[in-house]
Amino acid sequence: MKKIFVGMGTCGLSAGARATYDRLEALAAEHPEVCTLARTGCIGMCYREPLVEIREDDRRIIYGDVTPESAEEIFRRHVLDDQVLDGENLVYSRGQNGETAGSECDFLDQQTRIVLRNCGTIDPESIGDYEEAGGYLALRKVLDSMKPDEIIQVIKDSGLRGRGGAGFPTGLKWSFAAANEGDVKYVVCNADEGDPGAFMDRSVLEGDPHSVLEGMIICARAIGASSGYIYCRAEYPLAIKRLEIAIEAARGRGYLGTDILGSGFDFDIKIKQGAGAFVCGEETALFASIEGERGMPRIRPPFPAEKGLWKKPTNNNNVETYANVPWIIMNGAGAFTACGTEKSPGTKVFALAGKVAHGGLAEVPMGTTIEDLVFRIGGGIKKGKKFKAVQMGGPSGGCIPASMKETPVDFESIPATGAIMGSGGMVVMDEDTCMVEIARFFLDFTQKESCGKCTFCRIGTLRMLEILERITRGEGVPEDIEKLEKLSVQIKEASLCGLGQTAPNPVQTTLRYYSDEYRAHIFERKCPAGECQALVEFSIDPEKCVGCTLCAKNCPVNAISGKVREVHVIDTEVCVKCGKCVTSCNFGAIVKR
């Protein structure tokens, strides 16, 4: 009996997985004695969606870019005739003896999957699938044989650090909440994933929601909490839907509610949908939002462990942190510390985005280098371009240059570069990326997302943004660099929360590593990467132009002239630098300087 799984995460559905699933469903209904069909979450290979996996005994075959038409061929030849299709659709195969093959075998085989252990391998809407994979055994273990302080000690011994960005020791954080008395205590899960290019938490919630619930329940048992909230942005409708299904199923099995598994322990979870405010990723702003107030950070102390949600002792961790907990309880702290580095044990999930060839999710041991992530797992840079930089930590992070690609990814090495670990988003950039424009882009994001409470964050980021906009328009002056550096320091020191304290990071790191690009913009009125439109000039290479007239036909302002089969020219005085000529030319004749 073969089992067929179709990747039905957001990435798969966006790529057309619904039509692929529907076709396979019709075929499976005709042959119920041969196979079963189920949905699953994202396995990480977003760049090859829709994905279809076929399992039989210990054999695992994954096909990529599966359309309804190719799905029918796969079903006929593989499912019915037991012939593995050795074509471009085959991305991964693992035999009964463990041998692997396929065009993308490195992508999966080079990973160590703890958080993503079930993503892409179980039906996220089936609690039975989660239980068959060992789900809720950790909860049973802590209820049957562990005291609250013993649970906390295991988490401490594991060295697990918060995966939301700050990297604070999780066990220590739990101990603070456990030590504070309160008639009510809360466990909160921060699923307000707001970094551009980050989708780790979304994929975990879509692919394995029960692991997060189980981690939260274990935390509640450890600190003595009776109520929990998952704060998830409303822009994640599929994640919310599967969380709702999982919570209801967990209640039905006795894992949530009153007298959990006959232990006398009561705990339940609610979902709070966020409106997408980036600042609500900061925990005190998140608490305010749950309480129905405007999402604005609060002064600390008191810290959440003492007075958090509704001024009650509260523990807040992110999705990835909680998903680690059941695995640690079942496998032991030693198994977790055996992976990663001494000060940053375990694994980390990264979202690879931007100019990387294999965009998707990858979970690797802490200490893996940027080079290994981008090239060994990510497949290098698209179209054979040169690797220029990677942005880590989202809009509050920093740009790490290609010259530092051997930097280990951990909580000590990344901050030393001027960037931050963040929640795990990695935006890869190639030689065509303007680093001044990147700084402007991310600062524009954080400036708009500032809650406005702090003057330096509200006004200081606006002044920095205005300077960067002038520079990218070719209107910068030499004094602008000094102003940017001065404002960066002032904003960091005078802001209340992490948004303002880290907002200048993209500017500071690009100034540190790419000062030559700033100087070129200011002194030469040129953009070396050719990305800033105001500083770009278009022309036509007479050696490549064949006079096809496509560029002239697509020019919105009629700036291109020339006869059929003759070399065309661009009137730079009329040209608005929209780039339409570049995209319409089939011969690479348009030169951008």
- How many residues can be counted in the chain? 593
Extract long-range pairs of 17-24: CB within 8 Å, 24+ residues apart.
17/49, 17/50, 17/51, 19/67, 19/68, 20/50, 20/52, 20/66, 20/67, 20/68, 20/71, 22/68, 23/68, 23/71, 23/72, 24/52, 24/71, 24/75
What's the mean pLDDT in 540-557? 95
Q: Identity (one letter) of the amino acid at 483?
A: K
For residues 395 and 77, the answer to whether their CB atoms sit within 8 Å is no
Q: What is the pLDDT of residue 536?
A: 87
Q: What is the pLDDT of residue 112?
A: 95
What's the Cα-to-Cα distance from 26 to each of 22, 41, 68, 125, rounded to whole Å? 6, 21, 11, 21
Domains of the chain by range and CATH? 2-104 (3.40.30.10), 128-335 (3.40.50.11540), 347-430 (3.10.20.600), 435-524 (1.20.1440.230), 537-592 (3.30.70.20)
- Taking all residues of the chain, what is their mean pLDDT, rounded to a whole number? 94
pLDDT over threshold 90, residue 95: no
Q: pLDDT (tens digit, 9 = 90+) per residue, 35-60?
A: 999 999 999 999 999 999 999 988 89
Q: pLDDT (tens digit, 9 = 90+) per residue, 100-112?
A: 888 888 899 999 9
Q: pLDDT (tens digit, 9 = 90+) per residue, 519-529?
A: 999 999 999 99
pLDDT over threshold 80, residue 97: no
Total-model pTM: 0.92
pLDDT over threshold 90, residue 245: yes
